[in-house]
Structure 1
Amino acid sequence: MIKYFVKFLLSSKNEHSLHSPFVFELYTKVISAKTKNPIFIEIENLRKKLLRNKTVIEITDFGAGSRIYKTNQREIRQIAKNAEKKPKFGKLIFRLIQWFKPSVIFDLGTSLGMTTIYESKACENAQIITFEGCPATAAIAQKNFEASNCQNISLIIGNIDETLPKVINQIEQLDFAFFDANHRYHPTVNYFEICLQKATEESVFVFDDIHWSDEMNEAWQYIKNHSQVMVSIDLFFVGLVFFRKNQPKQDFVLRF
C-alpha cells in the first residue's frame, strides 16, 4: 500500500480546493466533522470487550484471505483488532447515514458487527441487511446486535456470491451500501454491478480498502470511472461514490 499512500499524500486536498458545493458541504459538515455522540461510547465499550476475548473460532474465508495469519484459527480479540474497521471509520459511516437518511442499507462483510452497529444506531428506522460468509463470526455478530439492542438488522449468512443476487431481488431500491467483503477485483466489481441494479440518483456506495492491493486499486479505478458514477471521493482507506445526475462527472482525492 505504500506506493498508493505516497501518491495519495502528493495529490490529496482539503476543503480549500473544492469548487463543488455538494462536495464542499459534504466534506466540511460530514467527512471531516468531529462528531461526539454518547452512542459512540457504548459501541466502543463493546469493542473493548471483544479486544479482551481470547475465545478461538474457526474462520470460513471466501475472500482474499489474511496478510497476518496463516491458519483459519483466530481468537476473537485478533479479529476485533485486525479485521474490524477502526472507530474513525465507524463514525464516518454513522455521519454519512445520518446525513443522507437512507431507508435500505446493505452491509457487505459483517465480521463481528461493529460497523453494522454504527449503521444501525445512525438510523434506527432504516432496514439494514448485512452479509457475512463465516458462520462463526456471524454468530458473534448476532450476539453483539442483541447486546446493543439493534432491532433493524437482518443478518444473511453464506457466500455473498450466492446470497447477494437473491437478496437484491427482494428490495425495490438500495439507498446506501458499504462494501467490505471480498478484497479482490472481480468479486468487488461484481458486487458493485449487482447493487447498481437497485441504486438511485440519491444512493451512496462506500468501498473499503480501495488501495489495499493492486487488485483493489484496479477495482476502484473501474468503479469511479463507471458511466453511472458521477462523483467519487478517495479518502485513501475508503472511497465514496455518488450517482447524482445533475452533477458533472468529478473525482476528488481528499484528506481524512
Structure 2
Amino acid sequence: MNRRVFPFLSYLKYWLVKEDQYAIQSPFVFEIYNGLLGHVQQSKDKDLDIEEIRKTLLASKEICEIEDYGAGSKKLKKSSRKISSVTRYSTSPRKYSQLYQFFCAKTPAMQVYELGTCVGLNTRYLAKVTKGTLFTFEGASALWKKSQEFPKPQNVHYILGNLKDALPYVLEKNHQVDFALLDANHTYQATIDYFELLLPKIKKSSIIAIADIHWSKEMNQAWEKIKSHPEVIISLDFYECGILFFDKSLTKSNYTLHF
C-alpha cells in the first residue's frame, strides 16, 4: 500500500475507535490518561526554552548530509537536507514531546533511553525529568552534532553510531531500562529487534514508548505484534505513538485514546 495512503486509512480507523476518558473502564488507565491531559494543560508555559530552540532550528538555512539507516522520510528524499525541514518533518510536535516527558516521569527515570536523537528536542524534554542518566542514540553524524549545539543537559550521554551495534553495547553495561522512546529506523524488523533488546532490562515500573506506530504498514504490524507480547500488560494507542506497561498486577488490555 502507498506510504502516503496507509497513514490516512489508519487514522480513519483510529478516529472511529478512539475513546475519551468517559469510556475508560480501568481505574489505572483512567488516572494515567487524565494525568496526561492535566500535564499538557499545566505545561503551556513550561519548557519554553526548548521551544525557542525549535524556532531557531525551523529558521535555520543550514544544509547537512544525513546518513539514513532506516525507512527514510516521506517528505525528505535526498541525503542533503535542510535543518529546518528535518525539524519540521522529523521531530515530534510539542504535545507529544510533553507526552513522552509525562510517561518518563511516571517511572523511576534513573536510566532512560532515546533511540533516535534527531535534532535533540525530545532529548531535552526527557532530560528535564530524568533523575539519573539519559542515553540518546543517533546514527547521522550531522544530526548528532546539531543536537549538541545548544547548551546541553548535563545528564545526557549523546551516542553516535548504528543502533544495532551501539544499543547492545550500552545495554550490556547497564542493569535496567526505566523508560525508553523508540523513534528510529521505522522498519518492522528494526522496531521488533530494539524492543527485544530492551525487554530483558525491563522492570515492573518500566514504560516503553514507540513513535510513529501507524506511519506505515510495517510499523503498524510491528505495533500489533509488540502489544500482544506476553510481557506487555497494557498498551495505549495515541495514533502518533504507543505506550507500553509491564506491571503484571494490572489486567491485560489495549486502549485507543484520543489525544
Tell me the TM-score normalised to structure 1 length: 0.95
Q: Distance in 2 between matches of 1:39 and 1:126?
A: 21
Name the residue aligned to 1:210. Answer: 213
SS in 2 for 1:53: coil
Partner SS state of residue 143, structure 1: coil
How much has 1:19 moved relative to structure 2? Answer: 1.6
- Kept in 2: contact 1:31–1:95 (CA 8 A): no
Which of 168, 171, 175 is matched with 2:171 structurally?
168
Counterpart AA for 1:9: W
Which of the residues 152, 155, 158 maps onto 1:155?
A: 158
Structure 1 counterpart of 2:240: 237
Cross-structure match for 2:14 = 8
Farther-moved stretch of structure 1 (197-206 vs 34-43): 34-43
Q: Which residue identity lines up with residue 72 of structure 1 in the other structure?
A: S
Q: Secondary structure at 2:210's aligned position in 1?
A: strand
Instruction: Verify: 1:185 aligned to 2:155, yes or no.
Output: no
CA distance in 2, matches of 1:217, 1:31: 25
Q: CA RMSD in A?
A: 1.2
| 2:127–2:134 CA contact under 8 A, matched in 1 | yes
Aligned length: 252
Are 2:253 and 1:250 equivalent residues in the alignment?
A: yes
Contact 1:209-1:236 at 8 Å conserved across structures: yes
CA contact (8 A) 2:108 2:205 kept: no
**1:143-167 alpha-carbon deviations (Å, 9 max, x no partner):** 23xx2x4100001101101111111
Aligned partner of 1:104 among 100, 111, 122: 111
Do structure 1's residue 135 and structure 2's residue 149 form an aligned pair?
Answer: no
Q: What is the identity percentage for the equivalent residue pairs of Structure 1 and Structure 2?
A: 35
Provide the secondary structure at the position in 1 that maps to 2:42. coil
Shift of 1:197: 1.2
| CA distance, structure 2, for counterparts of residue 103 and residue 21 of structure 1 | 27
Equivalent of 2:128 in 121, 126, 129: 121
Q: Give SS of 2:154's match.
A: coil
1:208-234 CA-to-partner distances (Å, cap 9, x unmatched) read 000000000000001100000000000
| Secondary structure at the counterpart of residue 218 of structure 2 | helix
**1:36: Cα distance to partner?**
2.1
Q: Is the 8 A contact 1:202 1:244 kept in 2?
A: yes
CA deviation map 1:31-64 (0-9, x unaligned): 4641226542111011000011111110010010
**Aligned partner of 1:68 among 66, 75, 78:** 75
Q: Distance in 2 between matches of 1:226 and 1:32?
A: 30
TM-score w.r.t. structure 2 length? 0.94
1:40 matched residue in structure 2? 47
Structure 1 contact 110–131 (Cα < 8 Å) conserved: yes
Which residue is equivalent to 1:92? 99
Contact 1:30 1:99 in 2 (8 A): no
Unaligned runs of 5+ in 2: 1-6
1:242–1:209 CA distance, 2 compared to 1 (3 A): same
Shift of 1:25: 0.5
**Alignment partners' CA distance in 1, 2:35 and 2:252:** 22
State how far apart, in whole Å, the 1-side matches of 2:208 and 2:38 are. Answer: 18
Which residue is 1:79 aligned to? 86
